Amino acid sequence: MAYTSTDLGPSLPLLASGKVRELYEVDSKTLLFVASDRISAYDVIMKNGVPNKGKVLTLMTAFWFDYLPKQIPDLKTHFLGLKVPGTVPIQAKTQLHNRSMLVRRLKIFPIEAIVRGYITGSAWSSYKKTGEVNGLKLPEGLQESQEFPQPIYTPSTKAELGQHDENISVERAAEIVGAKYAKRIEELALRIYSVAKEYAKQQGIIIADTKFEFGLDEETDDVVLVDEVLTPDSSRFWSAKTYELGRSQESFDKQYLRDWLTSNGLKGKEDVEMTEEVIQNTASKYTEAFQILTGQTLDGAV
């Protein structure tokens, strides 16, 4: 069964609810970050959910929060652990198992740190029209899905629920968060992407692009990696085995759902109910990505 809404009763105050997650207050410094099985495409949440998706996202994020700081010693993350706090009502404990994380409560920078290693999606559309992506002039003659000579950083605004993110220049990002933090965010995003891309490629997944969020630890002035990281919701994952230049790629992310919506005239519509087939196919994409990336089966991991 899919778990599309959470209710933890009066013991834990609900601070925010996003497209996929609920954030609860544990104490003044700690949050409970719960991934539901909700799925969104084109910024709209589907009516029904994808069973176990929240667990895949949580465990994959936890995997990266373990792996990344080992490779990048000065990287700080918000991750505190997977333990379900004692104040969670008993009936919700099993549901939260492996889909909730304890995280540090931080001031979130209102930009999305997007890194692209391969040209696809909106970047490909923009390049075909203007030869540029986010105001960056790119080499001529790139083909669809081609790897960039260097990964590029293309920040966007972080839209409120129901709004669309907007691409911004690096200069605009610096105006929004301040030059010092903007620089650090860019530097970290590019380093994390490179480390993850290397690892994933060995396992058989190409991370074509991804989105990070960062927060500020006001006590230490550290820029901290937050949110989910390097999941099929926040990234485009392609199969390295079937990758071919000059066309769109088979992917492990929401592309399958997006294509289904588009071909059925449902793109951007509210209250769409996915068919059983769409749910099953989406669920198996997510679990397959988890298995390839972590080398563990989802059942084994939970």
Ligand X SMILES: Nc1ncnc2c1ncn2[C@@H]1O[C@H](COP(=O)(O)OP(=O)(O)O)[C@@H](O)[C@H]1O
Residue 99 found at the interface with ligand X (CB under 6 A): no
Contact 92, 7 (CB under 8 A): yes
Residue 104 found at the interface with ligand X (CB under 6 A): yes
Residue 49 found at the interface with ligand X (CB under 6 A): no
x/- letters, 227..246, toward ligand X (CB under 6 A): x-------------------
Instruction: Name the minimum Å distance from CB 22 to ligand X.
Output: 8
Determine the residue with CB nearest ligand X. 18
The rounded distance, in Å, linking the Cα atoms of 221 and 181 is: 9
Q: Which residue has the tokens 């000065």?
A: 74
Interface with ligand X (CB under 6 A), residue total 16
x/- letters, 115..144, toward ligand X (CB under 6 A): ------------------------------
Contact 235, 114 (CB under 8 A): no
Residue 211 found at the interface with ligand X (CB under 6 A): no
Binding segment (CB under 6 A) for ligand X, from list 2-10, 97-105, 171-179, 286-294: 97-105
Residue 78 found at the interface with ligand X (CB under 6 A): yes
Binding site for ligand X (CB under 6 A): 18-21, 23, 31, 78, 103-106, 108, 213, 215, 226-227
